[in-house]
Amino acid sequence: MSPSFHNNVHIGYHTPSNTQGVYASSAYHPLGVDNSFDLETFLNELHLSMVKNTEEEIILELVGIDAPLINALRRILIAEVPTMAIEYVLISDNTSVIHDEILAHRLGLIPIRADPESFQEYHKGEEPQPDNTIVLKLCLECKQNPQARPGAEPEELYINSNVYSKDLVWQPLGNQLERFGENGIRPVLDDILIAKLRPNQRIELEARCIKGIGKEHAKWSPVATAYYAMLPQVELLQEIRDEEARRLVQKCPMKVFDLEDIAKRQSCADDDDLSDNDNNSVVIAKVVEPCRCTMCRECIREEGWDKKIRLSKVRDHFFFSIEGTGAIPTDQLFPRALKVLRDKCDMLLSFLESIR
């Protein structure tokens, strides 16, 4: 499927154009074209593949989907997929330099690895129950280290000078231990610094995690961020050869272009090979890695170059990145977002049903 020019977002040097798609079903009605959303064609044209899958980030490639739809998924990921996060902190002792409120705020932002599906929503004023609350405890006191060399770093001079997220200890409520197993619930990362202590300073607190969504507070967002970028497209409108071509290759920081010797029909990897070539050869620039293009517009910065190179973005081809916090395994994030979306659709349908 080669995307037509009209379907692309044009990237000019000073301003982008044709940024908005046309989604209204009646948009082309006078032309006799039905623009309404058709599930079947959508399913036929939709392609989904995974570009990257690590603990922290997943990149999906989606083709044949509109910006509004993929944006809905992005918004849901940020704001509406529930997770567990610390909401209530009962502080019994805090003699550190960090104020209670700030300490509680810091604790809240620590991602907790726990499956929110296994928990109910907690309502304010309720007694904490095993099915809606996770309790974590933190109890630490800083002491002078008798073995420390004088003048050493504070980490050596004192014991427990740094309070890390690993010091949060899960206190299973009710049958939680059976349900989640030993070490089933814990902070995602062990080395998040919560506070610093000095001898005789002490923190003792109980933190309660409840289920929530990112709309309420960013701490419940399962992603650090979720975003997408449209597929970049780089086209050479005319042949760029010799010195200009070399300049172009050098200009592009992302190495989108490369040189091709049309005399020998032999592509050269980089400048070193180039110098070996005899001067008679004719080189032309060629787009080799359009996907790398970040649309920095460096290649069309100089006067007149926008006549030679056309940069554009393919409107229905996305790279969708999900950077998870780890509260929910990253590979589960996209399905969960879809589920939230489906639930919302169901709700809308049933609502429409009810008013009919």
Partner 1 sequence: MWSSADVAQDPQEEDLKNILFQGENQEQLRKPIKSIADKWLLVPAFLKLRGLVKQHIESFNFLIEKELAKIVAANEKVTCDADQTFYLRYLGIRVGTPAIEEDLVVSKVTPQECRLRDLTYAAPIYVDVRYTRGKEVLIRKDVVIGRIPIMLRSSHCILTGKNDQQLASLGECPLDPGGYFIIRGTERVILIQEQLSKNRIIIEEDKKGNYCATVTSSTHERKSRTSLVYKSDKIYLRHNSLTEDIPIWIVFKALEVESDQEIVQLIGSEPIFAQALLPCIEDCISRNIQTRWQALEYIGSKVRLYRKGYSFLRRSVVEEAQEVLAGVVLSHIPTFQHNFRNKSIYLAFMVRRLLTVAENLTIVDDKDYYGNKRLELAGQLLSLLFEDLFKKFNADLKRHADMVLSKPNRAAQFDIVKCMRPDTISVGLENAIGTGNWTVKRFRMHRAGITQVLSRLSYIAALGMMTRVTSQFEKTRKISGPRSLQGSQWGLLCPSDTPEGESCGLVKNLALTAHVTTDAEEEPLIRLCYILGVEDATLFSGDELNHPLHYRIFLNGKLLGIHRSAFYFANIFRLLRRKGAVGEFVSIFVNETENVVYLSCDSGRICRPLIIVENGQPKVTPQHIEALERNQLQFSDLVQQGLVEYLDVNEENNALIALSEEDIDPSKTTHLEISPLAILGVCAGVIPYPHHNQSPRNTYQCAMGKQAIGYIGYNQHLRTDTLLYLLSYAQKPLVSTKTISFIKYDELPGGQNAIVAVMSYSGYDIEDALILNQSSLDRGYGRCCVVRKHAVGLRRYPNGTCDRVCRPPSLSEGSERSNHKFACLEEDGLPRVGARISPGQAYLYKETPMDTMTTMTSQQSIQQVGYRAQPWMYKGPDDAVIDRVVVTCNPSSHALFKVMIRETRTPEIGDKFSSRHGQKGVCGLIVPQEDMPFNEQGICPDIIMNPHGFPSRMTVGKLLELMAAKSGVLSGELKDGTAFGGDPLEDCASMLVQHGFSYTGKDILYSGMTGEPLQAYVFMGPIYYQKLKHMVKDKMHARARGPRAVLTRQPTEGRSRDGGLRLGEMERDCLIGYGASMLIMERLMHSSDAFIAHVCRQCGLIVSKDWCPTCASALYIRPLKIPYACKLLFQELQSMNIWPRIMLEEWNSS
Name the one range near partner 1 by CB under 8 A: 97-105, 178-186, 283-291, 325-333: 97-105
DSSP per-residue string spanning 31-96: GT------HHHHHHH-EEEEEEE-SSEEEEEEES--HHHHHHHHHHHHHTS-EEEEEEEEEEEE-S
Our finding on whether 254 is near partner 1 (CB under 8 A) is yes
Our finding on whether 79 is near partner 1 (CB under 8 A) is yes
- Quick check: 73 and 231 in contact, CB under 8 A? no
Q: Does residue 283 belong to the site contacting partner 1 (CB under 8 A)?
A: no
For residues 183 to 222, the per-residue mask of contacts with partner 1, x marking binding by CB under 8 A and - elsewhere, is: -------------------------------xx-xxx-x-
Spell out the residues 6+ positions from residue 150 whose beta carbon is closer than 8 angstroms to its own.
none
Strand partners, 186: 113
**How far apart, in whole angstroms, are the C-alpha atoms of residue 136 and residue 169?**
5
Per CB under 8 A, 164 contacts partner 1: no
CB of 262 to partner 1, least distance (A): 28
Q: Which of residues 286-345 bind partner 1 (CB under 8 A)?
A: 294-298, 301, 313, 321, 323
**Is 29 a binder of partner 1 (CB under 8 A)?**
no
Kindly calculate the radius of gyration of the chain based on its CA atoms and give it in whole angstroms. 28
Distance between CA 270 and CA 203 in Å, rounded?
Answer: 59
Task: Give burial (CB, 10 Å; 0-12/13-18/19+) of 37.
Answer: exposed
Residues 8-27 binding partner 1 (CB under 8 A) are 9, 11, 14-17, 19-21
Count of beta carbons in the 10 Å neighbourhood of residue 84: 26
What single letter denotes the amino acid at residue 323? E
Closest to partner 1 by CB, 108 or 176: 108
Q: Which is nearer to partner 1, 15 or 279 (CB)?
A: 15
Examine residue 105 and tell whether it contacts partner 1 (CB under 8 A): yes
**Residue numbers of the site for partner 1 (CB under 8 A)?**
9, 11, 14-17, 19-21, 67-72, 74-75, 78-79, 91, 94, 97, 99-102, 105, 109, 214-215, 217-219, 221, 225-230, 253-254, 294-298, 301, 313, 321, 323
